[in-house]
Amino acid sequence: MSHWLFDLGNSRLKFAHLREDGSLGEVVALDHGDRDLVAALETALPSRGELAAASACLASVASPALTAGVVDALTTRFACISLARTQSAMAGVRIAYAAPERLGVDRFLALLAAHARARHAWLVVGVGTAVTIDLLAADGQHRGGRIGPSPRLMRDALHRAAVQLPASGGDYLEFATDTADALASGCEGAAAGLIERSLQQARTQLGETPALLLHGGGAAALQSLLPESVMASALVLEGLALWARAGIRA
């Protein structure tokens, strides 16, 4: 049976085919918001005939209504659909939350993928609608994390509160001499500062500096401010592949 992986966030849907060797095929990303995501997904997927004997694994942190719409669309294409859920322990990772189901499944899957990449300490940072930060020790113990607004969300909030402030544009400068640049510098700098403080505190807690792993649609904009970082654009799908393979073996 062929297997496909779907990562539904608050801003984008990403999906890829899971190859027999466990690697990901081409990753397709669909932005959603004003567009009809279900229609876009149906256009982007192979034909019903090609997927008739295939299975789909979905990880979603989107609204129940949007999730249900995507599930309905997948039901018309795939023979079997499974929904990924956060678990207290899996693939060598142990979640710090007393109620693991309260940890977003995207964060859980990103931790699985980070631990599978290398058995050393990681600071895993997702940049999407929010900035999520999770500390993972080398032994797979999740030490907890933070959630803050992303630069894009900060810009949107400032624009809604004061419409004369542009919602986009500008370049990062340490001390800007233009409003658009100042906004970009302040919002991107706030996110980078949160990540840098998290690295400092992680070093104190672990006695070592964790490797910094960035993922998510907004991660590229912050990478230049965090030159020690590693980019993993499809990290959640990597973790979903691990989750799917565990289910396949079971």
Same domain, 127 and 66: no
Residue at a domain's end among 25, 56, 83: 83
| Residue 160 covered by a domain | yes
Same domain, 12 and 54: yes
Same domain, 28 and 105: no
Tokens 């956060």 -> residue: 86
| Res 250: pLDDT | 45
Total of domains in the chain: 2
For residue 237, give the nearest of 58, 12, 50 by alpha carbon: 58
Same domain, 105 and 226: yes
| Res 38: pLDDT | 87
Residue at a domain's end among 83, 115, 141: 83
pLDDT along the chain (250 residues), means of 10: 91 93 92 80 87 91 93 92 96 97 97 96 96 98 98 97 96 96 98 97 96 95 94 96 78
Same domain, 151 and 120: yes
Q: For residue 218, what is the domain's CATH number? A: 3.30.420.40
Distance of alpha carbon 140 from alpha carbon 112, whole angstroms: 9
Same domain, 173 and 203: yes
Choose the catalytic residue: 106, 134, 139, 156: 106
Residue at a domain's end among 50, 83, 116: 83
What is the domain extent for residue 38? 2-83
How many residues appear in the chain?
A: 250
Active-site residue, 178 included:
no
CA dist 3 → 55, 63, 79 (Å): 5, 24, 10
0.75 cut: is pTM over it? yes
| Res 205: pLDDT | 95
Same domain, 153 and 171: yes
Same domain, 39 and 116: no
